DNA sequence: CACAAATGCGTGTTCGCACACAAATTTAAT
DNA sequence: ATTAAATTTGTGTGCGAACACGCATTTGTG
């Protein structure tokens, strides 16, 4: 005497399909996996019944017997050059952990972000290994395209994160809406400065030419004031700074501040807000408010002492996690994945910072 | 010729343990599940080997053959009385969806939040059904205690969300740190009002006596100013309002505003900020800024038109989701779950609102 | 028309675990 | 010592899908 589970009638197995289609389970299996060796009409019949019965394969059973392994490759900058990248790395590892029960393995390829050659080298290495899926942050545009082409030809799905490249459509893009984050920054800047003043948009250490997202952030910031008919009230400047030489960095700021009337707000579009904060501290300037990006340690220091008012969190750990997640969804679970996945724009202050930090046991959640 | 999976050597099965302990798999199984009927010495031997080999049961295989079903009960207010509760409901349903592959079923018991009797009735009903786990928002303190006692006696784990009751320790509490959210609100209020002024804390439609979290929010708000030595600069008032009578609500506000010098900021500790927004709109007052809680439709309306500056998101959908999640972690996967789980304090403005709304296709994630 | 190759399809085994049942062993009772 | 009872341990089967294997039938080739 068998016990039947209560939802027996609602659960459709391969066997049920086989029965209804008057074929063997082997045939149904062949249809499902496109293994060929099935007559066209039989195939269609089975397919139709699968749809009718709304068959959903039992993941447990599928994984159980299967020895299939999934090898993903993750290509992103070495965090020793930029602390930002520790977070994606940890997200990737968390996802690997979560999916290891499904035989998912992730190989990390980290490169020196200041060295195009290294980028190409690591990408080449990765490509040679023929992974089942690729997650990457394609910080070099031109150099990446040939790889996209190759992967497309090899039918290897790839997911982009943090930096978007629209050509050769990827399986998915994970990241932030830079334009929107510019709008958000402007809203905060406006909120904190009810009275007319000057504001500065500072791009530090990244060439605008190579970084479309910086442009978008600036556009967003400026458009907020335009859209709200505030551009007569606030004067918005912008500047590109580099930290290559400490003294020139300081000198540039000195002249900027000297020549700008009533500068009250600086919006740093990169994760280097702490550099400005440090400068302001050294110069004992405390009437200029700062908004920046990314919860990296030096930024947190100045967030906590009040030099930085807000940081916009790019959810870097989430980016890594979701990247692997999407690949798994697509390859392991054969689900459709959204072509674009924007992560929330988190406004972080000293008061809610804790919840965005990477506590071992803290959890991501999204709805 | 069998293909061995690459990690074969690292994966420990019951069979391996049995082999090493020189017993049958049945015995190992009995040890693992404490089914008794195993000689003491054998049991210890097996237990030791399990630990040595670091055995981790294969979830797939476990679920596959098992007909075990998990029935959870979820007790929370009917959303037709307060739109806030649509979100937890949808989170609960999302979680049910996610865990249904593990034979998890959730039965919802919704009650009229204004009717203690209904609360008790639904709780009694639920208790009679003897679910495997319970998720509830215990909005009535005194009335809940006997149930806690009963569930403890019956050994049914329960998870609290949104409202915390510390007695009879629950498996887990999911919610927000109200005090911290008060601090956050104060930070925002301060940021938007650099100059001295008066601020009002408004508790609408909930009796403070019954709602510890409102007290905490107020404490947080006040303490921000105290901690930053700002209490000489800003004057903080508070008021309890009820909407039972439209006219008295308005009248109270009228007198408040008339008698308060330089009132520039109102902090609404409940989800009824829209009521104040509406009032301010009717009175054509636009120099008073509003901060409130919860992304419910009427609030969103005023967030979008600028009457409300910020909403603090309590992540209600996440609360529901995580509640069920914790129960499943505990009961299905036998994992330890954190006793307290604070969800992030999201600062929501018109500019980042989109990312916090309940897109059909958006996903949960956790790290 | 014979015979091989290709194609179509069914059978049987496997995955790791749970659980029912059978078997073996020990203990108690006479 | 014999047998019954209680306790301990072993065996077998099912869960649903994947896939290797192989038999049967069709198609192709000379």
Q: B3-56 pLDDT, tens per residue?
A: 344 444 578 999 999 999 999 999 999 999 999 889 999 999 999 999 999 999
Specify whether the CB–CB gap between A235 and A198 falls below 8 A. yes
Q: Is the dihedral of CA B28, B31, B32, B34 positive or negative?
A: positive
- The CATH number of residue B21's host domain is 1.10.260.40
In the sheet that B263-268 helps form, which strands lie side by side, from edge to edge?
Answer: B234-241, B197-204, B263-268, B289-293, B310-313, B346-348
Positions of E strands within chain B? 70-77, 104-111, 133-136, 158-161, 172-175, 197-204, 234-241, 263-268, 289-293, 310-313, 340-342, 346-348
* Closest-CA residue of chain A to B56: A101
Q: What is the rounded average pLDDT of the residues A166-194?
A: 93
- For residue A8, give the DSSP letter: G
Residue B235 β-bridge partners: B198
pLDDT > 90 fraction of chain B, expressed in percent and rounded: 75
Closest by CA to A44, choosing from A60, A68, A21, is A21
In a domain, A355, yes or no: no
User: Residue A299 belongs to what H/E stretch?
Assistant: helix A297-304
Question: Phi and psi for B91 in degrees, rounded to 5?
Answer: -65, -40
When pLDDT is cut at 50, 70 and 90, the band that residue A336 belongs to is confident
State the average pLDDT for chain A.
90
Closest by CA to B56, choosing from A100, A107, A63, is A100
Residue A336 touches chain B, beta carbons under 8 Å: no
Please report residues of A whose CB lies closer than 8 A to that of B98.
Answer: none
- For residue B9, give the DSSP letter: G
Strand C contact at CB of residue A257, distance < 7 A: no
In a domain, B351, yes or no: no
- The CATH number of residue B158's host domain is 3.40.50.2300
By Cβ distance, the residue of A3, A188, A317 closest to B67 is A3
C-alpha span between B348 and B367 (Å, rounded): 22
C-alpha span between A240 and A203 (Å, rounded): 5
Closest by CA to B99, choosing from B323, B256, B336, is B323
Is residue B289 located within the same domain as residue B335? no
In a domain, B194, yes or no: yes
C-alpha span between B123 and B100 (Å, rounded): 24
Is residue A89 located within the same domain as residue A20? no
Residue A172 touches chain B, beta carbons under 8 Å: no
Strand C contact at CB of residue A59, distance < 7 A: no
Is residue B125 located within the same domain as residue B187? no
Number of domains in chain B: 3
**Cα dihedral A258→A263→A269→A271 (10° resolution):** 70
Chain B contact probe: residue of A3, A351, A356, A359 with most B CBs at under 10 A: A351
In a domain, B355, yes or no: no
Please report residues of A whose CB lies closer than 8 A to that of B345.
Answer: 351-352, 355
Question: Chain-centre distance of CA A211, in angstroms?
Answer: 15
> What would the pLDDT profile of A75-127 be if each residue is shown by its tens digit?
999 999 988 999 999 999 999 988 888 889 999 999 999 899 999 999 999 99
Is residue A305 located within the same domain as residue A323? no
In a domain, B76, yes or no: yes
Is residue A213 located within the same domain as residue A308? yes
Distance of C1' in D23 from CA in A314, Å: 61
Closest by CA to A343, choosing from B311, B90, B354, B205, is B354
Residue B321 touches chain A, beta carbons under 8 Å: yes
Is residue A190 located within the same domain as residue A295? yes
* Closest-CA residue of chain A to B221: A351
When pLDDT is cut at 50, 70 and 90, the band that residue B365 belongs to is very low
Tokens 């029935």 locate to B71
Residue A210 confidence (pLDDT):
64
Residue B43 confidence (pLDDT):
95
C-alpha span between A172 and A180 (Å, rounded): 19
Task: Please list, in sequence order, all residues whose beta carbon lies within 8 angstroms of the beta carbon of residue A292, skipping any fewer than 6 positions away.
Answer: A267, A268, A270, A271, A272, A273, A274, A276, A299, A308, A310, A311, A312
Q: Across the interface, do A352 and B184 touch by the CB < 8 Å criterion?
A: yes
Is residue A172 located within the same domain as residue A201? no
In a domain, B91, yes or no: yes
- In strand D, which positions have an atom below 7 A from any protein CB? 7-12, 14-21
In a domain, B8, yes or no: no
Residue B166 confidence (pLDDT):
78
By Cβ distance, the residue of A67, A91, A367 closest to B321 is A367
Cβ atoms within 10 A of the Cβ of B300, count? 18
Residue A358 confidence (pLDDT):
62
Is residue B275 located within the same domain as residue B290? yes
Residue A191 touches chain B, beta carbons under 8 Å: yes
In the sheet that B340-342 helps form, which strands lie side by side, from edge to edge?
Answer: B104-111, B70-77, B133-136, B158-161, B172-175, B340-342
Q: What is the rounded average pLDDT of the residues A302-331?
A: 94
Question: Chain-centre distance of CA B112, in angstroms?
Answer: 19
Residue A359 confidence (pLDDT):
54
When pLDDT is cut at 50, 70 and 90, the band that residue A153 belongs to is very high
In a domain, B219, yes or no: yes
Nearest 5°: the CA angle A32, A33, A38 is 75
Residue B367 confidence (pLDDT):
40
| Integer angstrom CA distances of residue A102 from A365, B8, B138, B240 | 21, 14, 38, 54
Strand C contact at CB of residue B263, distance < 7 A: no
Token output for A175:
């990241």
Residue A366 confidence (pLDDT):
43
Q: Is the dihedral of CA A299, A301, A305, A307 positive or negative?
A: negative
By Cβ distance, the residue of B94, B192, B342 closest to A192 is B192
Tokens 């479309």 locate to A212
Range of the domain at A39: 14-57
Higher pLDDT among residues A363 and B225, named by residue: B225
Is residue B144 located within the same domain as residue B200? no
Residue A344 touches chain B, beta carbons under 8 Å: yes
Q: What is the rounded average pLDDT of the residues B258-267?
A: 94
Q: Which nucleotide is nearest to B35 (CA to C1')?
A: C19
Q: What is the rounded average pLDDT of the residues A57-76?
A: 91
- For residue A323, give the DSSP letter: H
C-alpha span between A32 and B152 (Å, rounded): 48
Is residue B160 located within the same domain as residue B229? no
Residue B313 β-bridge partners: B346
- Buried (b) or exposed (e) across A160-169, using 16+ Cβ within 10 A? bbbbbbeeee
Question: Phi and psi for A337 in degrees, rounded to 5?
Answer: -120, 145
Is residue B167 located within the same domain as residue B182? no
Is residue A224 located within the same domain as residue A261? yes
> What would the pLDDT profile of B127-171 be if each residue is shown by its tens digit?
999 999 999 999 998 999 999 999 999 999 999 999 888 778 899
Nearest 5°: the CA angle B277, B281, B284 is 140
Cβ atoms within 10 A of the Cβ of B306, count? 14
Distance of C1' in C8 from CA in A108, Å: 44
Strand D contact at CB of residue B228, distance < 7 A: no
Token output for B36:
């008794």
- Buried (b) or exposed (e) across A334-362, using 16+ Cβ within 10 A? eeebbeebbbbbbbbbbbbbebbeeeeeb
Distance of C1' in C20 from CA in B40, Å: 23
Question: Phi and psi for B69 in degrees, rounded to 5?
Answer: -115, 145
> What would the pLDDT profile of B88-117 be if each residue is shown by its tens digit?
999 999 999 888 888 899 999 999 998 999
* Closest-CA residue of chain B to A338: B361
Tokens 């927004």 locate to B277
Residue A8 confidence (pLDDT):
41
> pTM to 2 decimals?
0.88
């Amino acid at each position: 005497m068998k016990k039947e589970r209560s939802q027996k009638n609602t659960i459709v197995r391969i066997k049920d399909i086989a029965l209804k289609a008057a074929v063997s389970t082997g045939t149904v299996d062949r249809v499902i996996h496109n293994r060929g060796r099935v007559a066209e009409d039989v195939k269609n019949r089975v397919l139709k019944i699968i749809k009718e019965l709304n068959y959903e394969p039992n993941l447990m059973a599928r994984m159980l017997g299967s020895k299939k392994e999934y090898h993903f490759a993750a290509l992103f900058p070495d965090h020793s050059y930029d602390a930002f990248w520790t977070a994606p790395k940890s997200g990737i590892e968390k996802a690997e952990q979560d999916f290891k029960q499904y035989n998912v393995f992730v190989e990390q390829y980290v490169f020196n972000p200041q060295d195009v050659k290294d980028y190409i080298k690591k990408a080449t290495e990765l490509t040679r290994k023929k992974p089942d899926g690729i997650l990457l942050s394609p910080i070099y545009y031109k150099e990446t395209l040939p790889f996209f082409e190759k992967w497309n030809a090899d039918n290897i799905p790839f997911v982009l994160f943090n930096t978007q490249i629209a050509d050769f459509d990827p399986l998915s893009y994970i990241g932030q809406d830079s334009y929107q984050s510019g709008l958000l920054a402007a809203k905060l800047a406006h909120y904190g400065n009810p009275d007319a003043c000057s504001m500065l948009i500072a791009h530090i250490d990244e060439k605008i030419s190579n970084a479309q997202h910086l442009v978008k952030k600036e556009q967003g910031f400026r458009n907020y004031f335009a859209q709200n008919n505030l551009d007569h009230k606030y004067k918005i400047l912008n500047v590109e700074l580099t930290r290559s030489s400490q003294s020139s960095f300081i000198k540039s700021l000195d002249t900027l501040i000297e020549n700008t009337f009533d500068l009250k707000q600086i919006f740093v579009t990169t994760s280097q807000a702490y550099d400005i904060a440090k400068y302001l501290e050294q110069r004992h300037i405390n009437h200029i408010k700062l908004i920046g990006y990314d919860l990296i340690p030096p930024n947190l220091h100045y967030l906590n002492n009040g030099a930085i008012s807000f940081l916009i969190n790019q959810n870097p750990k989430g980016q890594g996690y979701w990247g692997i997640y999407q690949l798994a969804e697509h390859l392991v679970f054969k689900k459709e994945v959204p072509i674009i996945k924007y992560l929330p724009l988190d406004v972080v202050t000293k008061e809610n910072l804790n919840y965005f930090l990477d506590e071992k046991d803290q959890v991501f959640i999204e709805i």
